[in-house]
């Protein structure tokens, strides 16, 4: 599987399901990314490729996608995201984490914007949350909130928020164009009861050991330190 080359969306799905965890971009574990498995003919092209396949794969597999690996994006299957989120949250649901002072005001605010919605596009969150710059200028203009991207990344790294899809702008001819706009959702909302009812079934240490054991099996060339670093919330 380490030598498998991605030519099609089906190839990409096969790799994600095999590894269980798959960063999109290169990292310290050589060969362990979508980018390194892709044939250049489909990675660097104007035609449909891995960038456009992300949304359909998320929808088809019902998996987790987000900035989970050192603030960079990657896939985690639904089976393994239960353990991953339990570990990254250190066994805390969001309310308990807030009660114990583990969530900043910015994190609580952004989380609350999604909590009242099934999902929202990044541009919608910025607008309703007051992160956009005001059209009016001058000393009387209100000041926009700061830290949108940083806070959103922190919540993804902690396993509370993920990407539920990518949506494209439509031109006059009805064709999609540009980069996909990220749609976000709370993990519990998107993954449903099979996730929310079982995320805290295991002790945090057990979830961590399960992930390490699996990753050692599918990544025999990776060192213990590399696997530990991959799973760290940093």
Q: In this predicted model, what pLDDT tens digit does every residue of 178-227 receive, in sequence order?
A: 778 999 999 999 999 999 999 999 999 999 999 999 999 999 999 999 99
CB-side neighbour CA atoms (13 Å) of 132 = 11
CB-side neighbour CA atoms (13 Å) of 58 = 25
Q: Where are the beta strands (DSSP E) in 17-102?
A: 21-23, 64-69, 72-76
Query: Helices 105-115 and 122-129 meet at what angle, rounded to 10?
Result: 110
- At 101 the pLDDT is 97
The whole-angstrom separation of Cα 204 and Cα 144 is 38
Q: Is beta strand 64-69 parallel, antiparallel or unpaired with respect to 72-76? A: antiparallel
Q: Is 62 exposed, middle or buried (0-12, 13-18, 19+ CB in 10 A)?
A: middle
- At 3 the pLDDT is 81
At 136, the pLDDT band (50, 70, 90 cuts) reads: low
Q: In this predicted model, what pLDDT tens digit does every residue of 31-73 receive, in sequence order?
A: 999 999 999 888 877 778 999 999 999 999 999 999 999 999 9
Q: In this predicted model, what pLDDT tens digit does every residue of 24-42 receive, in sequence order?
A: 999 999 999 999 999 988 8
- Cβ pair 54, 12 in contact under 8 A: no
SS3 174: coil
The edge-to-edge listing of strands for the beta sheet with 120-121 is 21-23, 72-76, 64-69, 161-170, 176-186, 120-121
Q: What's the N-to-C CA distance of the chain in angstroms? A: 28
- What is the pLDDT of the chain when averaged over all its residues? 93
């Amino acid at each position: 599987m380490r030598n498998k080359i991605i030519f099609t969306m089906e190839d990409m799905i096969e790799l994600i399901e095999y590894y269980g965890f798959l960063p999109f971009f290169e990292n310290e574990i050589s060969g362990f990314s979508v980018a390194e498995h892709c044939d250049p003919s489909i990675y660097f092209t104007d035609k449909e490729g891995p960038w456009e396949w992300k949304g359909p794969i998320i929808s088809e597999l019902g998996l987790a996608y987000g900035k989970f690996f050192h603030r960079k994006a990657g896939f985690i299957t639904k089976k393994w995201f239960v353990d991953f989120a339990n570990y990254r949250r250190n066994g805390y649901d969001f309310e308990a984490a807030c009660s114990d002072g583990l969530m900043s005001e910015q994190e609580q605010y952004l989380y609350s914007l999604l909590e009242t919605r099934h999902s929202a596009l990044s541009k919608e969150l910025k607008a309703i949350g007051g992160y956009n710059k005001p059209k009016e200028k001058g000393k009387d203009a209100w000041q926009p909130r700061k830290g949108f991207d940083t806070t959103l990344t922190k919540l993804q790294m902690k396993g509370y928020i993920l990407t539920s899809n990518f949506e494209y702008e439509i031109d006059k001819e009805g064709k999609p164009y540009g980069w996909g706009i990220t749609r976000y959702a709370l993990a519990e909302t998107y993954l449903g009861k099979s996730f929310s009812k079982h995320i805290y079934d295991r002790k945090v240490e057990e979830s961590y050991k399960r992930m390490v054991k699996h990753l050692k099996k599918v990544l025999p060339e990776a060192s213990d330190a590399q696997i530990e670093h991959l799973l760290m919330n940093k």
